Structure 1
Amino acid sequence: MSPYRTRPATVALGAAVLLAASVAAPGAAAADRSTTALTWYDATAETVAAAGAPTQITNSRTWAIGWLAAARATRSVPAGVDRGPFQEAALAAAVHRALVTLVPSRTEQLDATYEKTLDAVPDGPAERRGVAAGEREANLLVAARQGDGLDPGSVNAPYPVRPAAPGVWQPTPPAYAPAAQYGNRLAEPFVLTAGDQFRLGPPPALDSARYAADLAEVRAYGGADSTARSAHQTETATFWLGSSLTLYTEPLRVALSRAQQGPAGQARLVALFHVALVDTQIATSDSKYAYERWRPVTAIRTGALDPDPDWTPLHATPAHPDHPSGHNTYSGAAETVLSALVGPRTAPFDLTSPTAPGVTRTYTTWRQLSEENVEARVLSGIHTRSADEAGLTLGKEVARYVLRHAGRLLAPARDAAASSR
């Protein structure tokens, strides 16, 4: 089955219903209200880039908490107050409170942005109640996620490497670093019932034709000295080498800036994207460490199929098992959320990469990003195509599940202090 299968009608319908209440009519008011979401999107990106955690999933968690709090706070507008000022204040207050709590070293910069945001919101009960709602939802969500296992220490919990054997993951050259991200599979998801809810089936058997084809492709196209790989293919591998969180920050911002939605819909888009990506990364590590499949460099150097002890991949192999590709679980989930909530196509947008300075690529669909990710990890010599395609499947399954359960996820917290006067 193609990894690019059409999203189920239930997901499309659910996404349409989910956003219907927040779609704003075109015009100056809608354009003005979008500024608040973009301001705090940029503030979140800058905060994570400047002082974020060393683990990607921890930074995804920061995004998810701040924007999920904002989505909850903006969802229900109290009677008797103006919707626009309330939602602007609620969004800003939620993201600000979450960020200063989770990344306190950036408090000064965040406070300055917050002050400017509120200066632009009309004073009055709508602003006051919006601020109270945003702060309340952020406080409750931060408290609820305490001890969720997504801190850097828990994410990189020690992993006991099994003795070397055919197919079994081993630390890879040149660093032979300890296994990373093992603890992800033990963390608490936002929406999934458990990390193994969508566990993939096993990778191709070592004596299968598919495995032989996978390994031959990586050997030919992913080697450091490959003569089969074209210059454009090398550029593709290098372009998608970096952090998926970093590489998808601009595409999500493009979607946010072009979506015809008010603050509630914009907060919902960012929240669902990052919640889906946290849960996808948890599910990714579950499958990786359930199967412990060795990486191509180990298979090619020490395996039974024409071993070559000197073979070296174009790019250094990350320190965790092959099946599935984490870059592709990320891209599969991202593609699914963006396609469901803003449509599969968009006007052309340019994208750059920190690992390919001077290179700019242009895209018109979210699927193109996924397609390039599949190719890139093979061309880098660090994943088999089977692992890449399995990654797309897993990311899409998790994202669909998150979208189907978005109503429950986005419900504002209810407690004794839930009403603000």
Structure 2
Amino acid sequence: MRRTLLFLLIFAQSVFANPAKEELRKHLQPAVFSVTMVMIHDVVNPPAASRFYTYCLLGAHEIVARNNKQIVAPTVLTKSINPVSIEAKSYDYQIAALYCILETGRLIIPSGYMLEEDQKKLIIALLREGHSQATIDQSIAVAQDVARKIAADASTDGYLKLSTRLRYRPKKGDGFWYPTPPGYMEGVEPHWKTIRPVLIDSCSQFIPIPPVEFSKDSTSTFYKMAKEVYDVGKNLTEQQRFIASYWDCNPFAINTSGHMNIGFKKISPGGHWMNITGIATTKANLDLDKGIMVHSLAAATLMDAFISCWDEKYRSSRVRPETVINRSIDPQWQPLLQTPPFPEYTSGHSVISTAVAEILTYLLGDNFAFRDDTEVIFELPTRDFRSFRQASEEAAISRLYGGIHYRDAIENGQAQGKALGAFIIEKLKKAGVKAAI
């Protein structure tokens, strides 16, 4: 009889568990996507976007870790933020964490005020799900306090000093990067290496091997690499065209029409991977606490990968294929994708995609199949992948198909990203961060 009563009690607890708590995890991916949409509106460049994602998630991660001892606090992993003290006694930490994502974005993103509407929608949804107004108000107060502290920490990472630094001037010489058509824009974030990293030790910790030496000699390795980009671009299959377009992730592409320049806003490379992270954590059925942790670690990895990559880009400052091909092979040739406004070596997508794929593989497992719908809002179909690594490999080679990178920038970029990812994984292991599933 006692066993029967015990079974009924356990069954009742599972059936009649607080449905509002179970509903909370469904708000994570929309909250991150709201941040993404504001950055698309603001045309935030790829390195800066990764930084905004990171701080938006670090605060939420810290709130969760203070209330769930199974989640390793970000302050254990990084010195980028200070330990957060929370004085409130009665609040829902998961509501606070969700709201903190939006509140931090509101404070640090240029058009962050746009997130106020998303905050209102979240509150309405929480009320409908059965949370009391008092609990919501107390949780919001905690979120606002933590967000202010995270924003204060973010203000010390060097970002606010970037605008005070000297403008970048391209190096003289045929082998160095020069602004490319159609916008001939200045180099994006030439001083990004000065940003304080989150999980790695320094910007120069993962310097890749030197790029192939520039040469105009048609028998040289460099010339052959440029010719490969040209030949591939002239003979693209439909599948290759699609792959290049799928991973374009150019926040601001310019199309010309007569004397007009028409800009098209898209998601950043980091934004694409943050959406993949949301898709994966949802498919893995992670609870909200683990989902926030995975998002936070993915964002921090992306931020550090961009810092590492941009350190090399403006050290080698290598010329883009479009410039070389127009000068030495075919003056009429154009790449399928618009050449991004910064130096070529190493390939940013190769570095960051490989790094975050390693982290997601560690946290969610190898051969984690998923359906990516990131580009649907840009009128591209969904795409199925067998694993995070497969997706990262496709993202890397897409830069050759798109005509914007040489092969060594792709392959050495992958090696750079893998080394960075391996370092972060070892750091996570030592801190006690285990696989999320």
Structure 1 residues 121, 92: closer, same or farther in 2, change over 3 A?
A: farther
1:116 matched to which residue of 2? 125
Aligned to 2:95: 89
**Gaps in structure 2 of 5+ consecutive residues:** 1-13, 70-90, 250-267
1:323 aligns with 2:345: yes
Q: Residue 159 of structure 1 is aligned with which of 157, 165, 168?
A: 168
* Residue of structure 1 in register with 2:229 after alignment: 218
TM-score by length of 1: 0.77
Q: Using the alignment, how far apart are the partners of 2:405 and 2:331 within structure 1?
A: 18
- Which amino acid in structure 2 is aligned with residue 230 of structure 1? T
1:240–1:355 CA contact under 8 A, matched in 2: no
Q: What's the offset of the Cα at 1:72?
A: 1.1
Question: Which structure has more RCO (C-alpha within 8 Å, separation ≥ 6)?
Answer: 1
CA deviation digits over 1:13-57, x for unaligned, max 9?
A: xxxxxxxxxxxxx99969975642431331231233135452233
Partners of 2:346 and 2:280 in 1: how far apart? Answer: 27
State the alpha-carbon separation in 1 of the partners of residues 45 and 377 from structure 2.
Answer: 18
Corresponding residue of 1:251: 276
Q: Deviations over 1:295-315 (max 9, x none)?
A: 112222335xxx333332222
Task: Name the residue aligned to 1:404.
Answer: 426
Instruction: Identify which of 175, 181, 188 aligns with 2:189.
Output: 181
In the TM superposition, residue 59 of structure 1 has moved relative to its aligned partner by 2.7
Could you tell me which amino acid in structure 2 is paired with residue 59 of structure 1?
A: A
Please say which of residues 68-77 and 115-124 is displaced more in the overlay: 115-124
Quick check: 1:52–1:59 contact (8 Å CA) kept in 2? Answer: no
> Counterpart in 1 of 2:241?
234
1:244 alignment partner AA: P
User: What is the letter of the counterpart of residue 424 of structure 2?
Assistant: V
Which residue pairs with 1:379 in the alignment?
A: 401
- Residue by residue, what CA displacement relative to the aligned partner does 1:314-345 show, whole Å, maximum 9, x if unpaired? 22211111111111112112211211111122
Q: Deviation per CA, 1:150-208, whole angstroms, max 9, x where unpaired?
A: 4696499621211123x211222333221112121221222222212212221122369
The 1:397–1:35 alpha-carbon spacing in structure 2 relative to 1, beyond 3 Å, is farther
Conserved in 2, the CA contact under 8 Å of 1:47 and 1:106? yes
Against the structure 1 CA distance between its residues 292 and 263, is the aligned structure 2 distance closer, same or farther, given a 3 Å change threshold? same
SS of match in other structure, 2:59? helix
8 Å Cα contact 2:36/2:271 also seen in 1: no
AA aligned to 2:36 is: V
Work out which of the residue numbers 292, 296, 301 in structure 1 matches 2:326: 301
Provide the secondary structure at the position in 1 that maps to 2:373. strand
For 1:155 and 1:259, locate their aligned partners in 2 and report how far apart those are by CA, in whole Å.
Answer: 44
Residues 1:60 and 1:206: Cα distance change in structure 2 (over 3 Å): closer
Contact 2:28 2:288 in 1 (8 A): no
Kindly tell me: are residues 28 and 349 of structure 1, through their superposed partners in 2, closer, same or farther at Cα, counting changes over 3 Å?
farther
> What are the residue-to-residue correspondences of 1:308-347 with 2, within 5 Å?
308-347=330-369
Number of matched pairs: 376
Q: Is residue 245–residue 402 contact of structure 2 (8 Å, CA) maintained in 1?
A: yes
Where does the alignment leave 5 or more consecutive residues of structure 1 unmatched? 1-25, 80-84, 412-421
SS of the residue aligned with 1:309? Answer: coil
Counterpart of 1:241, as a letter, is D
When structure 1 is superposed on structure 2, of 136-145 and 113-122 the one drifting more is 113-122
Instruction: Tell me which residue corresponds to 1:42.
Output: 30
- The equivalent position to 2:62 in structure 1, one of 66, 72, 96, is 72
Change (3 A) 1:402 1:313: same
On the 8 A contact 2:212/2:222 being kept in 1, the answer is: yes
- Tell me if structure 1 keeps the 8 A contact 2:28–2:98: yes
% identical aligned pairs = 23
State the AA in 1 paired with 2:170. Answer: V
Q: Could you tell me whether the CA contact under 8 Å between 1:189 and 1:282 is conserved in 2?
A: yes
Between 385-394 and 281-290, report the one with greater CA deviation.
385-394
Contact 2:312 2:345 in 1 (8 A): yes
2:203 aligned residue:
195
Contact 1:58 1:151 in 2 (8 A): no
- Describe the shift of the 1:179–1:124 C-alpha distance in structure 2 as closer, same or farther (beyond 3 A): closer
| Superposed displacement of residue 95, structure 1 | 1.8
Give the TM-score normalised by the residue count of structure 2: 0.75
